[in-house]
Amino acid sequence: MTEILVQVGTEEQAPPRDRVVEHPAWPVLKDAVERIRPWQSKDGSVDFDAEGAPDQADAGLAVRRVIDAVEELSPLLPHDAAYHEALVKDLRRWAEGGFQVPDFLDSLLAFQPAAHREDGLQHLVVFPMYTQNGNPNRNFEAVVLRMVWPEWLADLERTRYDNPLFCGITFEDFTAGYDTNSAVLFPETIAVREAPERFSWGGIFCDREAARFRKVTEAAVDTLGLELPDDIREMVGDQARCEQAFVLWDMVHDRTHSHGDLPFDPFMIKQRQPFWMYGLEELRCDLTAFREAVKLEADGFPQGRDVQYAVLFDRMFRFPVTGDRVRNYDGLGGQLLFAYLHKHDVVRWTDNKLHIDWQRAPQVTNELCAEIEKLYRDGIDRPKLVHWFAAYDMVSQYLAPHPGSRWAKGPDALDLNQPPRKLVDDVLPDEFPLSMFYEALSKKLKNVIASTKGITAESAERVAA
């Protein structure tokens, strides 16, 4: 069985298709979108009385150029025909309606990439949207992307990790909102008159994740003097292997939000909770992917071992020192993983070098996953505030709270006559500050992390060359 699975993992790619970005209409479309973006307000509308605004005729001409380019490119993508037809109608309605707050619900509903996941399939996407971890405004963006759906992954989704909405994708080209840290394409970011009853897809750019991971991991390994086993060093140096690891990690992580003993809405929509609750949820999903990767490695999937070290290194090296310290829940999860492994003697910082017990790392990482799952299971029988305190106590076993924290002093330090959501105001922006180890590492890696803004596989290879 192992031989068969390894062969599937290295199967030949589908025959190359004509690249949309090489068609002469693509730069025309991209330029027209870039002209429109600076005219737009935060909500996506155009205020023609604002300084620097165009007249309506110029705005209309730019939209016309977008429409013409979409119609010229659409025949290359027959699977997107219904979406492009709806897109053209939405663009026309926006222009004819005076460039008010855009409503692209019809074209959003027509775009169904998860309905035909096929490895290498291209999509041309144009929407008014914000880009998560990128541009917070609902400006127009144009993106050409390619589906990542090799047969081994399709088989795992079909037989072990059902996730019919998940789309692994890579960048072909994009407008300015994606020249950022954003690595997702989510339907909830798109400007619509009303949210649909349910979303039918979600895309994660595994090429950006892989390229960013490789660059930060290489810098961290060098800075920390960490000696990697040969196969892990080869993985970090191989963009294609890292992309396969991330698309598998993302698929399992994504489905985990709705699987398991969940004491609350897993996405916490319209809920106000302390940020360590979000941090534990994201870490739970990553550690579930880690645990499944251990099983997959044992079953003969080479991607399983790669996922384990992608999770460990991204969580320990990049997450804690990325972004600001205001409710940084992903950073908190990375700090917790490192501290847990350190307390259990899996990682050691000795003689100014980091050492990892590669043999024990899978077992102890899975033990942390089990602790979080027990917290969740017990939480079903707890009131919300009691559950928050139980989670705080768990995190505090491994991470030192801020000395000025009221939550660290326990329930007697809080006004429990307030509803739970009001007590969130007593949470410090940086409730669990960085350790001295991470403060030092942050200074060493901050420029490397900043340099990964807008990174793609192609840009990473150009820099390396």
Could you read off the pLDDT of 93-135 as tens digits, one per residue? Answer: 999 999 999 999 999 999 999 999 999 999 999 999 999 999 9
Q: How far apart are CA 213 and CA 230, in angstroms?
A: 18
98: region left, alpha or beta (phi > 0 left; psi from -120 to 50 alpha): left
Assigned token pair, 424: 């969130």
Own/partner long-range contacts of 437-440 (Cβ < 8 Å, ≥24 apart) = 437/338, 437/349, 438/320, 438/321, 438/335, 438/338
Q: Report residue 377's pLDDT band, with 50, 70 and 90 as the boundaries.
A: very high
**Amino acid 58: pLDDT:** 97
324 Cα distance to chain centroid: 17
The one-letter code for the residue type at 7 is Q
- Residue 171 CB contacts under 8 Å (≥ 6 apart), including other chains: 143, 144, 145, 146, 178, 205, 207, 208, 456, 457
Q: What is the band of 16 on the pLDDT scale with cuts at 50, 70, 90? A: very low
Q: Over 90: is that where the pLDDT of 461 sits?
A: no
The SS3 of residue 128 is strand
What does the pLDDT average to over 59-75? 98
Q: Residue 108: CA atoms inside 13 Å, Cβ hemisphere, count?
A: 25
Give yes or no for residue 9 having a pLDDT over 80: no
pLDDT for 6 beyond 50: no
Could you tell me the residue ranges of all domains in the chain?
26-200, 213-452
Give long-range contacts, CB 8 A cutoff, 24+ apart: 264-273. 264/379, 264/384, 272/421, 272/424, 273/388, 273/421, 273/424
Q: Rounded distance, CA 232 to CA 217, Å?
A: 11
Residue 3 has pLDDT above 70, yes or no: no
Token digits of residue 316: 């320990």
Confidence at residue 217, expressed as pLDDT on a 0 to 100 scale? 98
> Where is average pLDDT lowest: 53-57, 202-206, 269-273, 452-456?
269-273
| DSSP β-ladder status, 202-205 and 166-174 | parallel
Question: Does the pTM exceed 0.95?
Answer: no
pLDDT of residue 269: 52
The two structure tokens encoding residue 89:
């109608």
Mean pLDDT, the chain, integer: 93
187-237 per-position pLDDT tens digit: 999 999 999 988 999 999 999 999 999 999 999 999 999 999 999 999 999
